[in-house]
Amino acid sequence: AQKVTQAQTEISVVEKEDVTLDCVYETRDTTYYLFWYKQPPSGELVFLIRRNSFDEQNEISGRYSWNFQKSTSSFNFTITASQVVDSAVYFCALTLQTGANNLFFGTGTRLTVIP
Amino acid sequence: DSGVTQTPKHLITATGQRVTLRCSPRSGDLSVYWYQQSLDQGLQFLIHYYNGEERAKGNILERFSAQQFPDLHSELNLSSLELGDSALYFCASSVDVGGLTEAFFGQGTRLTVV
């Protein structure tokens, strides 16, 4: 069975601090895809990144970076120099190449950036 | 703007009633997924349609049903509504099946059952 665990329920940081959101996943499949989505207070789900299981290169996009480590089944997300606009709930998700192809979501981490 | 349109944005209805939620996928996307987000269950996959055909079911109640029409828009029908059905219902679309591409989500329909 597939499972995504986001152990951090809520995190608060002061603006300009760096913050890392943890994501640990479980699957027996060798081909899978990992995602991060942002859900701001307005409620929509905003796609941030997709990673396939064969690409362990870390990725940086502006203040965002992602660290994918298959050895620890983790796909962590770091925001550098956090801003108030980063305040949101962040979801990590997993999908497989086979089967229902739906997204398995973690329970989310609520990030509050304090000005 | 993800390009996925969901209507209505908000819906308030009474227990026992039936509602229909509508989703228009991004242009060119053949796959439509429905998800339910509730406080106790989190984000749960309900059902997946691909080019008009049902592909997979998740934790969808028998009181719920969906379809995808020839123009690729989809509708989620919820009947005999209960208080516990109050949730945010999302539709997502992608070009093809599965994790091969990004899934783009609509803004959701917030359903309140009173």
Write out pLDDT tens, residues A69-79: 999 999 999 99
Q: Select the more confidently predicted residue: A87 or B94.
A: A87
Tokens, residue B39: 């406080």
- The pLDDT, as a whole number, for residue B112 is 97
The minimum CA-CA distance between A52 and chain B, rounded to whole Å, is 8
Taking CB atoms and an 8 Å limit, are A107 and B42 in contact across chains?
A: yes
Integer Cα distance of B43 and B40 in angstroms: 9
Does the pLDDT value for residue B98 go beyond 60? no
pLDDT digits (tens, 9 = 90+) for B2-39: 899 999 999 999 999 999 999 999 998 999 999 999 98
Does the pLDDT value for residue B47 go beyond 80? yes
**Of residues A100, A107, A97, A86, the one with CA closest to residue A34:** A97
Q: Which residues contact B80 (CB under 8 A, 6 or more apart)?
A: B16, B18, B63
As a whole number, the mean pLDDT across chain B is 92
The model's confidence at residue B73, banded by pLDDT at 50, 70 and 90, is: very high
Taking CB atoms and an 8 Å limit, are B102 and A100 in contact across chains?
A: no
pLDDT digits (tens, 9 = 90+) for A15-51: 999 999 999 999 999 989 999 999 999 899 999 998 8
Taking CB atoms and an 8 Å limit, are A35 and B102 in contact across chains?
A: yes
Lowest mean pLDDT among A29-33, A83-87, A109-113, B96-100: B96-100
**How far is C-alpha A102 from the chain's CA centre?**
16
Give the single-character DSSP code of A29: -
The model's confidence at residue B101, banded by pLDDT at 50, 70 and 90, is: low
Integer Cα distance of B91 and B114 in angstroms: 23
- The pLDDT, as a whole number, for residue A1 is 82
Nearest CA in chain B to A96: B99
From chain B residues 84-113, the ones with a CB under 8 A of any chain A CB are 88, 90, 92, 97-108, 110
Average pLDDT score over residue span A91-99: 85
